[in-house]
Structures are given as structure tokens and as C-alpha cells.
Amino acid sequence: MEKSARPRTALNECVKVVVRCRPLSEKEKNEGYDEVVKVWPERGAVQVYNPKGQDKLFTYDAAYDCTADTQTIYDEMVRPLVASVLDGFNGCVFAYGQTGTGKTHTMEGTPDHEGVIPRTFRHIWAHIENTASPDVTHLVSCSYVELYLEDVRDLLAKDCKKLTIRGQELNGFYIPEMTSIVCKSAAEMVRVMRAGNRNRAAGRTDMNEHSSRSHAVFLVTVETAHRATNRIRDSKLTRILQDSLGGNSKTIMIANIGPASYNYDETITTLRYAHRAKAIKNKPIRNEDPKDAKLREYQAEIERLRMLIEQR
Ligand code: ADP
């Protein structure tokens, strides 16, 4: 039995905001662009030199310069969030920023520089292997959707069929027809992600134009069943992210920026938006079967009574 009952009451928790500035590309160097961004990792601060006026300084939960690798960002920021998800909370990590600033690099990465998503897959399966017991079973399933203008498309379905979002703000939104693929390993989840990416790119003649207006959302559901009880996790982008922005989720936003002078305006816009996002308050609560909640209440009551007896 647990020593103390964990509260089910939601505590306000702000969205964690992280800024990552990529290095100047070879092309930018060759074209002679100056760097206008200076990151102060130890202060979580980003300074942008303004050639026409005062420098701008913003502070965040963390700020990473071009020397930071995704492993560090994962370990310092994302790992605790995924651990919470494995403990029954909702979690969301999303990348934000101008095209070409490192969202794909951060989230998907490459086989040599794994991004946050494949690292999350490995983390989930390491947890499953570490907690394996005859009393516990896990079910991991994945969905992948793309939002393009007002359409939601299923990236794991034939012909990327259009989907409808149902539900309402009060009780949450859901997508009834969304494909959900059960996976048995991290490698399988990567294969599902790649298949979705291929569908996302298929038939797009102007990928640049398309990707600047489209958002891809990869959803992972981890269900954990205990032998005696069942503990389960149960504009359109905002709807899908409803729980993640001001709802029942712990959320990290990674704002990506480029360092070059010609990015100045976009960089300031991204940093301002990321700064505002720091004020979004979530109320994460552990998702659990109502029976489990009752059990926790009884455990807390037993613990309270036991302490009363011990104090006599
Ligand atoms: P986005 O998805 O935001 O459009 P990308 O992730 O495709 O941008 O990044 C654009 C380019 O910059 C890619 O060639 C990528 O490899 C490179 N890049 C992005 N971030 C970094 C980084 N932190 N370190 C090294 N290269 C990076």
C-alpha cells in the first residue's frame, strides 16, 4: 500500500516553454548573414540584437543554444513529462516556429540524431519492460492525423480519409473514426510514424507551401491494466490540443528559432508567442478508473485513521 494517498485534485500547472536556437546553416554562413540571437542557457534567456534599437530579452523554462543536442533536451525537459504519462497523466509536446528552424529535427530527427518522438517510444517500451510482471499488462496504440486548413486527415488510413471531430468543450473532444494501430515495440511505432509521414508527403506538389500550413499530431495511448483493477488512460488544432492547452495535461512547448538576421521578425514573433504561452495554466489529473479513485480514497482514510491511532 502507498504511504500517502496521492491527491486527485487538479493543481494548476503552467505550460513549460523551451526555446531552441539552431546553428547558422552553411548557406546562411556563405551568404554572410550575421547572428542576431544569443542564448543564455544558465538563465533560460534569449537575447535578440535589434540593429535598429534596443535588444530584446525573453526568459523561459529553458533555453538551448546550437550546442545542445536533442538528448539533453529530452533528458532535462521531456523525460519527466513522459514519466508522468506513464503514471497516468495526459502529456503533450509540441514544436512551434518558422519553417526551417528545426521542428522536424527536434521532434522526428534522423536515424543518427533521434528526435523527441522516437526517444519517447523507446522510453515507453523501456518502462514497459522494466515493469513487466504477470499482474500487469500494457496496451500501446498510435494514431496520426494531419490538420491542413480546416481538414483533419487520417495519416494511417487508406487515402488519408477525412475525419470529423466530435464532442464538446466540457466533456472533451474525440475523433471516432481515427485509425488506431496497436504496437508491440518502439521500432514498430517508428514504422507507423514513417508510414504516416509518407502518406503526408504523397501527392503534395509543393511540400514547402503545404508544410507551412499543416500540423501533424502523433497520438500515443498507453493503457495499463492491473490484475485486480483496471487503470486506463481514456480553429481544429485547438480542439485536438484542448487538453494540452489549458486542460487536463502536462505540456511542453518547444519553440524553435533560427539565429540569422533575416529571421529577425519571425524570431521575435515566435519568442513573443512562446512567452505568452508560459501563462497558460493546465490542471493535470491522473486518469484512472473510478474504482481506483475510490480505492485511493479508502487508502487515504485508512492511513488517516492509522495515524490517529498512533498519535494516542
Ligand atoms: P522545420 O521542420 O522547422 O521546417 P527542419 O527541422 O527541417 O525545420 O530544419 C531545417 C534544417 O536545419 C535541417 O536541415 C535540419 O537538419 C537543420 N537543423 C535544425 N535544427 C538543427 C540543430 N539544432 N542542429 C543542427 N541542424 C539543425
C-alpha span between 50 and 118 (Å, rounded): 37
C-alpha span between 248 and 301 (Å, rounded): 26
Query: How many other C-beta atoms are found inside a 10 Å radius of the C-beta of residue 80?
Result: 13
User: Is there a binding annotation on residue 137?
Assistant: no
Cell numbers found for residue 305? 485513521
Q: Closest by alpha carbon to 67, among 38, 32, 103, 109?
A: 38
C-alpha span between 221 and 243 (Å, rounded): 14
Assess whether the C-beta atom of 105 lies below 6 angstroms from ligand 1. Answer: yes
Which atom of ligand 1 is closest in space to residue 110's alpha carbon?
16
Which H or E run includes 153?
strand 151-154
- Report CA(6)–ligand 1 centroid distance (Å): 41
C-alpha span between 118 and 121 (Å, rounded): 5
195, 268 contact by CB (below 8 A): no
- Report CA(257)–ligand 1 centroid distance (Å): 10
- pLDDT tens digits for range 146-197: 998 888 999 999 888 999 988 776 667 788 889 999 999 999 999 999 999 9
Which H or E run includes 73?
helix 70-73
Q: Is the pTM of this model over 0.90?
A: no
- Report CA(113)–ligand 1 centroid distance (Å): 11
Cell numbers found for residue 2? 502507498
CA 302 to each of CA 158, 228, 247: distance values in angstroms, whole numbers, following the listed order? 53, 19, 32
User: Is there a binding annotation on residue 167?
Assistant: no
Whether the complex's predicted ipTM surpasses the cut of 0.90:
yes
Which residue out of 18, 105, 107, 112 has the highest number of ligand 1 atoms within 8 Å of its CB and is therefore the one to mutate? 105
Q: Give 292's DSSP letter.
A: H
Cell numbers found for residue 308? 490517529
- What's the N-to-C CA distance of the chain in angstroms? 23
Which atom of ligand 1 is closest in space to residue 101's alpha carbon?
3
Which atom of ligand 1 is closest in space to residue 97's alpha carbon?
3
User: Is there a binding annotation on residue 97?
Assistant: yes
Q: Per-residue pLDDT for the chain (312 aa), expressed as one digit of tens each?
A: 333 334 445 667 889 999 999 999 999 999 999 999 999 999 999 999 998 889 999 999 999 999 999 999 999 999 999 999 998 889 999 999 999 999 999 999 998 999 999 999 999 999 999 988 877 889 999 999 999 888 899 999 988 899 998 877 666 778 888 999 999 999 999 999 999 999 988 867 676 777 777 899 999 999 888 765 433 283 667 667 767 777 778 889 999 999 999 899 889 989 988 888 888 888 888 887 767 767 777 778 888 888 888 777
